């Protein structure tokens, strides 16, 4: 097994607000294996997106990374800690869009309304490589064709408001992949789309990953999507990591009561009048808000529980 | 009208610049807009004519008053002749047609007060008026845009607060007071003659480099005085607009793409934050021409605003009516200009 492309250790983020300090992330630890899809799951406010923004260093004031490290190991160059980079560091500008890029949740607003599609995609190339504008446009056209946009010549001079949501998300994906980044972060890329388009976009991301072999971090709250796309799963709750494992381990043999609760809360076939399971009732007396350090069960399998609660057959 | 513009942009094939397309196809749109102005202008010209006729008395009665008060007797026949000379004996609608018809062929009539054609009076001032107005707008923008950007990016910083306070003082200070202060400073510290756009020795002189230099020495006072008032407002509006845009997802996307910080702000949010200014750029022309009457008085500037005030005071109907009509036409063209600028910078508006 090759070394992970990203190693996140004890990452902490705080937001200073008028009502006090919000600790958005505390002691977040996980690895992103090279060339595979890692899903981060959790409910709203669990810190999934904040984690992604940390990796891109997109946390804006009043938010601040207050501790921890994000070790990024590119294949071609020296590894470095993203969290420790100065704001003006060239490596940071190079990193964004060049080595790590991001697909956002809202395709309707993620593109500039007053710049044409071709220009926006080509700009990603021009930011990172010394090529002519024509060359950048040609490569942008290729990438757009690759993500399934037809009639490229005409579409490239069109503007985002002339595109549907699904088409825009394809553009955003093309923009993210056009510099062939090592890591692609997808922050709920299908949440704002309807179900059929959602399936198309998921297939597209999966196929592109198979082909380009880049590492993908896929953020979602939808366990169905996780089952469909992920190799590894990181479960987050209240800014902490509760459970880490392969998709099979986490979905088939969840250890943490919260993960079990999440799985039970998936809407299935129910009788009329039956209520969905809620997390509070399944967790019972194991208090999920008390932080416990992650215990390593096996390679790539960790859980945040007091030692006594770990099932005997899983104990290392 | 919108369908025409969208046709313009459909024609913008890749490889061909947007301006080319506009040049090729925008012409019918502009021509149509200009024809569309005609009813508006005619309607307003009627209102102007009526309003100017409303006050009691006309040019003949005020001339008679003057003559009589200086002891000159005027016979009824002479009065009749005077009225005929100014077409005042004709029915109202004929007077209107005569006035409006002259306007169409570029003859704005005759000023009784100055005993010169209105055309001459207006043209000799229009150039200076536009010069002052345009330089004031440039001053406003050159000062306000960078400060607005700074204030938005460094919101609630000491610099932001400082500029806000200065801006509010700028809004609150009456223009004429600023004009007086600046004139004092210019005379006391730089020894520049007070008032007007030229030193006395150049006032009637033909255009030379020295005269241009003299103009440069004088124009900064009206430029700064007229520009400062707008600066504060522009800078606050830009700050607010930019703050709205700065955290929009498309800015985050661009940042995530690796766009450099300075380019990021200038290329994305600023572009959209400037929209409201584009829509008012056309309206600046008439307001600046009309809005500077008091400052023009104080600074003794040869602008249209001052001429209009004089004309109204002396019931110089052709002159006053002509200036107001000119402003109406300027507003119409200003609106067209705004629409074109807006369509040029914001594609969403082109297609709607």
Q: A6-24, pLDDT tens digit by residue?
A: 888 888 898 888 888 888 8
Question: pLDDT tens digit string along B76-135?
Answer: 787 888 777 777 778 888 888 888 888 888 787 777 777 788 888 888 888 888 888 888
Judged by a CB distance cut-off of 8 A, whether residue B345 touches chain A is yes
In a domain, A26, yes or no: yes
Q: Which two tokens stand for residue B87?
A: 């077409």
**pLDDT band of A218, cuts 50, 70, 90:** very high
In a domain, A38, yes or no: yes
Question: pLDDT tens digit string along B215-269?
Answer: 888 888 888 888 887 788 888 888 988 998 888 888 888 888 888 888 888 888 8
Contact A104 B249 (CB under 8 A): yes
pLDDT the model gives residue A280: 60
Judged by a CB distance cut-off of 8 A, whether residue A107 touches chain B is no
Judged by a CB distance cut-off of 8 A, whether residue B11 touches chain A is no
* Minimum distance, in Å, between the CA of residue A34 and any CA atom of chain B: 21
Contact A157 B253 (CB under 8 A): no
**pLDDT above 90 covers what percent of chain B?**
1
Q: What is the ipTM of this complex?
A: 0.83
Judged on CB neighbours under 10 Å (0-12, 13-18, 19+), A273 is exposed
In a domain, A166, yes or no: yes
Q: Which of A97, A112, A118 sits opposite B250 (nearest CB)?
A: A112
Question: pLDDT tens digit string along A293-311?
Answer: 787 887 778 888 777 777 7
Q: Which of A96, A116, A159 sits opposite B257 (nearest CB)?
A: A96
Count CB neighbours of B106 within 10 A.
7
Q: Which of A60, A109, A156 sits opposite B250 (nearest CB)?
A: A109
CA distance B273 to A161: 18
CATH of the domain at A258: 3.40.50.300
**pLDDT band of A217, cuts 50, 70, 90:** very high
Contact A110 B268 (CB under 8 A): no
Judged by a CB distance cut-off of 8 A, whether residue A43 touches chain B is no
Contact B258 A60 (CB under 8 A): no
The whole domain housing A124 covers 6-314
* Lowest mean pLDDT segment, chosen from A69-78, A93-102, B69-78, B151-160: B69-78
CA distance B280 to B275: 9
pLDDT the model gives residue A39: 92
Domain B122-313, CATH number (from 1.10.10.10, 1.20.1260.10, 3.40.50.720, 1.10.3720.10): 1.10.3720.10
Judged by a CB distance cut-off of 8 A, whether residue A74 touches chain B is no
| Mean pLDDT in residue range B200-226 | 80
Contact B250 A159 (CB under 8 A): no
In a domain, A161, yes or no: yes
**pLDDT band of B282, cuts 50, 70, 90:** confident
Contact A98 B258 (CB under 8 A): yes
**pLDDT band of A237, cuts 50, 70, 90:** confident
CA distance A31 to A40: 11
Question: pLDDT tens digit string along A164-175?
Answer: 888 898 899 888
Provide the domain count of chain A: 1
Greatest extent of chain A over all pairs of C-alpha atoms, in Å: 63
CB pairs under 8 A between A and B: 82
Mean pLDDT of chain A: 84
CA distance A247 to A135: 41
Question: pLDDT tens digit string along A183-204?
Answer: 999 998 888 788 888 888 888 8
Contact A109 B272 (CB under 8 A): no
Q: Which two tokens stand for residue A296?
A: 């390593």
pLDDT the model gives residue A233: 92
Q: Which residue has the higher pLDDT, B206 or B146?
A: B146
* Minimum distance, in Å, between the CA of residue B187 and any CA atom of chain A: 48
Enumerate the β-bridge partners of residue B111: B116
A156 CB neighbours in chain B (<8 A) are 14
- The residues in A 75-104 lying below 8 A from B, measured between CB atoms, are 93-98, 101-102, 104
pLDDT the model gives residue A281: 43
pLDDT the model gives residue B154: 86
Greatest extent of chain B over all pairs of C-alpha atoms, in Å: 88
CA distance A311 to B101: 99
Query: Do residues A170 and A149 lie in contact, with contact meaning Cβ atoms separated by under 8 Å?
Result: yes
In a domain, A1, yes or no: no
* Minimum distance, in Å, between the CA of residue B256 and any CA atom of chain A: 5
Question: pLDDT tens digit string along B24-46?
Answer: 556 677 787 788 888 988 999 89
* Minimum distance, in Å, between the CA of residue A28 and any CA atom of chain B: 22
| Angle at which helices B92-104 and B18-53 cross, to 10° | 150
Read off the DSSP letter of residue B194. Answer: S
Report for A187-196, A263-272, B58-67, B196-205: range of highest mean pLDDT:
A187-196
- The residues in B 231-250 lying below 8 A from A, measured between CB atoms, are 247-250
CA distance B198 to B200: 6
Q: Got the DSSP string for B19-75?
A: HHHHHHHHHHHHHHHHHHHHHHHHHHHHHHHHHHH-SS--HHHHHHHHHHHTT----
Q: Which residue out of B258, B278, B346 would a mutagenesis test of the A interface target, given it has the greatest number of A Cβ atoms within 10 Å?
A: B258
Residue B173: partners with Cβ closer than 8 Å, 6 or more residues away = B228
**pLDDT above 70 covers what percent of chain A?**
93
| Mean pLDDT in residue range A31-48 | 88
| Mean pLDDT in residue range A151-171 | 88
Judged by a CB distance cut-off of 8 A, whether residue A196 touches chain B is no
Question: pLDDT tens digit string along B11-24?
Answer: 444 444 555 555 55
Q: Which of B254, B258, B351 sits opposite A93 (nearest CB)?
A: B258
pLDDT the model gives residue A263: 85
pLDDT the model gives residue A269: 67
Query: Do residues B219 and B135 lie in contact, with contact meaning Cβ atoms separated by under 8 Å?
Result: yes
Residue (of B224, B343, B346, B230) closest to B284 by Cα position: B230
Enumerate the β-bridge partners of residue A64: A14
Read off the DSSP letter of residue A253. Answer: S
In a domain, A298, yes or no: yes
| Mean pLDDT in residue range A81-97 | 84
Q: Got the DSSP string for A184-203?
A: EEEESTTTTS-HHHHHHHHH
Judged by a CB distance cut-off of 8 A, whether residue A59 touches chain B is no
Residue A114: partners with Cβ closer than 8 Å, 6 or more residues away = A159, B271, B272, B345, B346, B347, B348
CA distance A250 to A258: 11
Q: Which of B14, B260, B351 sits opposite A153 (nearest CB)?
A: B14
Query: Within chain B, which residue ranges are assigned CATH 1.10.3720.10?
Result: 122-313
Contact A127 B257 (CB under 8 A): yes
| Mean pLDDT in residue range B273-294 | 73
Dihedral sign from CA coordinates of B38, B41, B46, B47: positive
pLDDT the model gives residue B68: 79
* Minimum distance, in Å, between the CA of residue B183 and any CA atom of chain A: 45
Q: Tell me the CA distances in angstroms from B123 to B107, B111, B208, B301, B326, one per residue in order.
A: 12, 13, 20, 15, 11
């Amino acid at each position: 097994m090759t070394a992970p492309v990203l190693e996140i250790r004890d990452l902490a983020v705080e937001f200073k607000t008028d009502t006090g300090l919000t600790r958005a992330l505390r002691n977040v630890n996980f690895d992103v294996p090279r060339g595979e899809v890692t899903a981060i799951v959790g409910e709203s406010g669990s810190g999934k997106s904040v984690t992604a923004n940390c990796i891109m260093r997109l946390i804006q004031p009043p938010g601040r990374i207050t501790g921890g490290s994000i070790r990024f190991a590119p294949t071609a160059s020296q590894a470095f800690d993203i969290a420790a980079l100065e704001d003006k560091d060239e490596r940071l500008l190079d990193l964004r869009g060049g080595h790590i890029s991001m697909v956002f949740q809202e395709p309707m607003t993620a593109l500039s309304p007053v710049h044409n599609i071709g220009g926006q995609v080509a700009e990603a190339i021009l930011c990172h490589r010394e090529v002519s504008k024509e060359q950048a446009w040609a490569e942008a056209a290729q990438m757009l064709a690759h993500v399934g946009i037809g009639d490229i010549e005409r579409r490239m001079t069109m503007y985002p408001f002339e595109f549907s949501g699904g088409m825009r998300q394809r553009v955003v994906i093309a923009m993210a992949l056009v510099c062939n980044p090592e890591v692609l972060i997808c922050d709920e890329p299908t949440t704002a789309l309807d179900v059929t388009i959602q399936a198309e976009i998921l297939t597209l991301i999966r196929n592109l990953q198979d082909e380009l072999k880049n590492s993908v971090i896929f953020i979602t709250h939808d366990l169905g999507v996780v089952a469909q796309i992920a190799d590894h799963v990181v479960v987050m709750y209240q800014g902490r990591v509760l459970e880490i494992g392969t998709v099979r381990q986490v979905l088939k043999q969840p250890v943490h009561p919260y993960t079990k609760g999440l799985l039970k809360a998936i809407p299935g076939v129910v009788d009329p009048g039956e209520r969905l399971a809620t997390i509070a009732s399944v967790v019972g007396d194991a208090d999920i808000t008390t932080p416990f350090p992650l215990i390593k069960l096996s390679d790539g399998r960790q859980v945040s529980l007091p030692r006594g609660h770990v099932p005997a057959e899983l104990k290392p | 009208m919108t369908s025409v513009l969208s046709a313009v942009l459909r024609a913008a094939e890749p490889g061909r610049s947007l301006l080319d397309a506009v040049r090729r196809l925008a012409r019918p749109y502009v021509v149509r807009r200009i024809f569309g102005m005609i009813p508006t202008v005619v309607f307003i010209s009627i209102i102007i004519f009526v309003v100017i006729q409303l006050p009691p008395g006309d040019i003949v009665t005020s001339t008679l008053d003057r003559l009589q008060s200086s002891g000159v007797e005027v016979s009824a026949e002479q009065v009749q002749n005077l009225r005929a000379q100014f077409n005042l004996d004709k029915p109202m609608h004929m007077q209107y047609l005569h006035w409006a018809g002259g306007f169409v062929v570029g003859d704005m009539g005759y000023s009784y007060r100055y005993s010169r054609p209105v055309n001459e009076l207006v043209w000799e001032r229009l150039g200076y008026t536009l010069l002052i107005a345009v330089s004031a707008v440039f001053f406003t923008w050159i000062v306000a845009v960078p400060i607005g950007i700074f204030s938005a990016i460094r919101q609630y910083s000491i610099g932001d607060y400082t500029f806000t306070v200065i801006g509010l003082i700028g809004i609150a200070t009456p223009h004429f007071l600023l004009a007086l202060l600046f004139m004092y400073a210019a005379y006391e510290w730089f020894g520049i003659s007070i008032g007007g756009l030229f030193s006395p020795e150049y006032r009637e002189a033909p255009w030379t480099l020295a005269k241009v230099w003299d103009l440069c020495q004088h124009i900064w006072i009206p430029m700064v005085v007229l520009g400062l008032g707008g600066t504060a407002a522009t800078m606050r509006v830009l700050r607010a607009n930019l703050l709205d845009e700065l955290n929009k997802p498309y800015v985050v996307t661009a940042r995530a793409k690796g766009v450099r910080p300075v380019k990021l702000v200038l290329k994305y949010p600023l572009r959209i934050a400037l929209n409201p200014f584009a829509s008012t750029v056309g309206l600046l022309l008439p307001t600046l021409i009309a809005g500077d009457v008091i400052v023009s008085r104080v600074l003794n500037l040869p602008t249209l605003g001052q001429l209009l005030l004089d004309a109204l005071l002396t019931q110089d109907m052709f002159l006053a009516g002509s200036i107001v009509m000119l402003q109406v036409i300027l507003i119409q063209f200003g609106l067209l200009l705004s629409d074109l600028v807006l369509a040029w910078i914001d594609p969403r508006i082109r297609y709607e």
